[in-house]
Amino acid sequence: MNYFYKKYIPYLFILPAMVFLTVFFFIPFFQTIILSFNDYSNDIYNPVFTGFDNYVKLIKSSEFYTTLINTFLFLLMVVPFLAVFPLIVAIFINRKIKGISVYKVLIYIPVVVSIVVVAIAFKWIYASQGILNYIVQKIGFMPVGWLTDTKFALFSVALVTIYKGIGYYMMIYLSALIGVPQDLYEAAEVDGANEFYKHLTVTVPQILPTIALVVTISSISALKVFAEIYVMTKGGPLNSTKTIVYYIYERAFENLDLSMASAASVVLLIVILIFSVINITFFENKRYKL
Amino acid sequence: MIKKLFKNTGTHLFLIAVSFLSLFPFIWLISTALKGTDENIFEYPPVFIPKHITFVNFIETWKKIPFLIYFFNSFLVASFTVILNLILSSLAAYPLARMEFKGKNFIFCLILSTIMIPFQAIMLPVYLIVLKLHLVDSYGYTTGYLGLILPFAVNAFGIFLMRQAFLSVPKEMEEAAFIDGCSIFNIWLKILLPMTSPTLAVLAVFTFIGSWGEFLWPSILLTNKALYTLPVGVNDLQGMFSANWRYIAAGSIISIIPIIVFFLFMQKYIVSGQNEGAVKG
């Protein structure tokens, strides 16, 4: 069946991509692990092997502990919302109504705009005398320091991540909704189910794998949050918005503490690896099958 | 009939509300940018349509910030990132889709495993490698640009996407070409690539948008302002204009015009519903 080709041909085609993946993925991956077992603080060119010392230091550091808690709190704020709300939007957009795709384009706009601009726009909305505090006061509450109060800052940042993600996950849900057989809805209608109940009993079970997929992808991207925090709070106030990637960035590029940055990177690698393995073995195994 | 009409009204109302919320941050930035110094931008209740619309903030920001240079840098970096991704992904995907060879499964798994390595966790060694290869702006413009482009020259999603596309091309076409004496490389170039052009377009559009919006890497790497890409330049607005929100808002709006235009032209590739968010780093 296969036409003839010389034995080395396949490798020749793969080689260029492999060179780049090796230089910019595989080598850095192993280097991160090696760096995390060495101490660079005395002489950056003559590291000392210190075993698990960096990890012990990391575990004992209350700053890193806060960082981890913040990261998971952030994940818990973002993921449930991004799993549910885009699905509701997608169900509405999936209706066959003339001109409905205009909404799809409008709702997708925040996805294509740079996160830096989105974060700046929200910083303006969150300003102490800004528009959000006006609305808050109008409905009878005290104005809030959205980005300056330790109780609210992480939530405020999470809202930006949610806002930026709605259109993206809506598209994933839309492509799943197209695959739901129409006759299932007709059967539910015959049984007298209302609109809400119809989607609860037909749509949700039918696209359950996609919901699970959205939960894992949005978890992974929540764990990687950086730009929102960098632009809006720089991890503050009092570390209340410092998440793991921001911590790594700060250690590596501001404090030049290669060892601690790498140990934290390995922690991030392990956490994301767990999510990815769950994702690939349960939800995307068909997608990546040989 | 009336009930149906009512039902659609509800849908429209809901979607209008969601669309409005999606656009609200930008509308509010535009509103602020159009207000002159004679208007209080902190006024309660907030004023959406300025009493005296003025473009002075846009003009002043445009004069003070080299937006054209930022556009050019972003465009250059995004374009070359796209070209490299298209070439490298489709080259690597061809044997993985069509040929039998030793170690195929291993190589494919190796490539897919990079999906599990987030850039954020390896960025420090990537930075050290880029430094060692002298791909930073302190050695010149070209090396600076290369440092921005090369770490993102290929990713597993692209290879995977192209492999799927090649699998859907009927084998008979290649076999006929091969019998006619066409080389393997020419089969790839002249048969497979044209037949998978819709997928190449999708890959190109998503890679372009991703590269255009990339913030973390350029903000780590760049020291020379002349090489700033848009996101880094826009973030810089905050420092330059400290609390002058009229200028910050105007600059932010100027910066998003190109990508909005690009999106509106390319929307059929982006919101067609068949991509399943195939490309995301």
Preceding peptide of B194 cis, ω within 30°:
no
pLDDT, tens digit only, all 290 positions of chain A: 355 577 888 999 999 999 999 999 999 999 999 999 988 877 767 788 888 889 999 999 999 999 999 999 999 999 999 999 999 999 999 888 888 889 999 999 999 999 999 999 999 999 988 999 999 999 999 999 999 999 999 999 999 999 999 999 999 999 889 888 888 888 888 888 788 888 888 888 888 888 988 998 899 999 999 999 999 999 989 999 999 999 999 999 998 888 899 999 999 999 999 988 887 777 666 655 54
CA end-to-end distance (rounded Å), chain A:
18
A224 located within any domain: yes
Query: Tens of pLDDT along A185-234?
Result: 888 888 887 888 888 888 888 888 889 889 988 999 999 999 999 999 99
Residues of chain B contacting A259 with CB distance shorter than 8 Å? none
A239 located within any domain: yes
Query: Tens of pLDDT along B185-215?
Result: 888 998 899 999 989 999 999 999 999 999 9
DSSP B35: B
A173 located within any domain: yes
Say how many domains are in chain A.
1
- Residues in B 47-66 with any Cβ partner in A closer than 8 A: none
B167 lies within 8 A of chain A by CB:
no
CATH number of the domain within which A81 lies? 1.10.3720.10
Q: Domain B71-227 sits in which CATH superfamily?
A: MetI-like (1.10.3720.10)
A65 located within any domain: yes
A104 located within any domain: yes
A18 located within any domain: no
Which candidate, B234, B222, B227, places its Cα nearest to that of B258?
Answer: B234
How many angstroms separate the CA of residue B280 from the nearest CA in chain A? 10
User: What value of ipTM does the predicted structure carry?
Assistant: 0.90
A93 located within any domain: yes
Query: Tens of pLDDT along B99-120?
Result: 888 999 999 989 988 888 899 9
How many angstroms separate the CA of residue A13 from the nearest CA in chain B? 5
* Domain ranges for chain B: 71-227
B216 lies within 8 A of chain A by CB:
yes
Residue contacts between A and B (CB atoms, under 8 Å): 275
Cβ distance of B129 and A231 shorter than 8 Å: no
Torsion of Cα atoms, A118 then A124 then A127 then A133, to 10°: -90
- Which chain A residue shows the shortest CA-CA distance from B44? A134
A13 located within any domain: no
Residue with structure tokens 């080259």?
B91
Cβ distance of A172 and B92 shorter than 8 Å: no
Domain enclosing residue A72, as ranges: 61-283
Question: pTM (2 decimals)?
Answer: 0.90
Question: How many Å apart are CA B255 and CA B62, to the nearest integer?
Answer: 10
Residues of chain B contacting A118 with CB distance shorter than 8 Å? 25
Torsion of Cα atoms, B271 then B275 then B277 then B279, to 10°: -120
